[in-house]
A and B are shown apart, each in its own frame.
Chain A
Amino acid sequence: GAVVSQHPSRVICKSGTSVKIECRSLDFQATTMFWYRQFPKQSLMLMATSNEGSKATYEQGVEKDKFLINHASLTLSTLTVTSAHPEDSSFYICSAWTENYGYTFGSGTRLTVV
């Protein structure tokens, strides 16, 4: 089946620095990638939708200059948290969508900003 590889699984960074999270689709091409954020005991909240080769569409309340999404190829999408602050600490999950495979989720990245 389809697999999305997400890295890193855990990252700790200092306040004010930037962190990049990668999601790679293995053995299939992901034209659409969704990025979610999940706080403890909360739902997965959609942050943005990205389509290969075009700008990401951000949900209301998500700062596009803070959460930079790049989907430059059909197998790689990245989320960069810029100037991270403790309130950005969360669990970030990507999900690829294709007609053939439906939704395929990455394993998630636990970000801790200290």
Chain B
Amino acid sequence: EDQVTQSPEALRLQEGESSSLNCSYTVSGLRGLFWYRQDPGKGPEFLFTLYSAGEEKEKERLKATLTKKESFLHITAPKPEDSATYLCAVQADTGTALIFGKGTTLSVSS
């Protein structure tokens, strides 16, 4: 069964304190791994898509990496506006629908 597990469930950081979020996955065949940001009461906002092990993508303070079993979302020197829930999702070979993890809720305090 295709599955996505994210950790930690919640993360509290001080402004400027870098950290990483983890997404481990089990799929029959990976077409793509996606990272989204979700603010309360809103739909997911696209951040990155990664397709193969070793791939990395960056956007401002965020950097996503991918291995054969997991992905990391690194947050460098976060700011309070980075506070949100970060969702990881995979698209498997078996279909087009995304399979989501439960997300990591990040709180950054100044």
Contacts and interface: CB of A to CB of B under 8 A. Distances in A.
Interface of A: 6, 9, 32, 34, 36, 41-46, 49, 91, 93, 95, 97, 102-103, 105-108, 110
A107 B101 CA distance: 19
Main secondary structure of the interface of A (DSSP, over half): strand
Most A-side CB within 10 Å, residue of B36, B41, B44:
B44
Contact of B96 (A32, A36, A93, A107): A32
B33 to A, nearest CB: 12
B43 A110 contact: no
A103 B101 contact: no
Contacts of A45: 100
A93 B49 contact: no
B49 A102 contact: yes
B3 to A, nearest CB: 11
Nearest to A106: B43
Interface of B: 4, 9, 34, 36, 41-46, 49, 87, 89, 95-103, 105
Contacts of A34: 97-98
A46 B99 CA distance: 8
Given A34-B97, A44-B87, A97-B96, A107 B43 contact: yes
Given A105-B43, A108-B41, A110-B41, A46 B97 contact: yes
Given A32-B96, A49-B97, A97-B96, A6 B43 contact: yes
Nearest to A93: B43
A91 to B, nearest CB: 8
A47 B60 CA distance: 34
Given A102-B49, A103-B34, A44 B44 contact: yes
A57 to B, nearest CB: 9
Given A32-B96, A44-B100, A93-B44, 13 more contacts: A34-B98, A41-B9, A43-B103, A44-B87, A46-B98, A49-B97, A91-B41, A97-B96, A103-B34, A103-B46, A107-B42, A108-B41, A108-B42
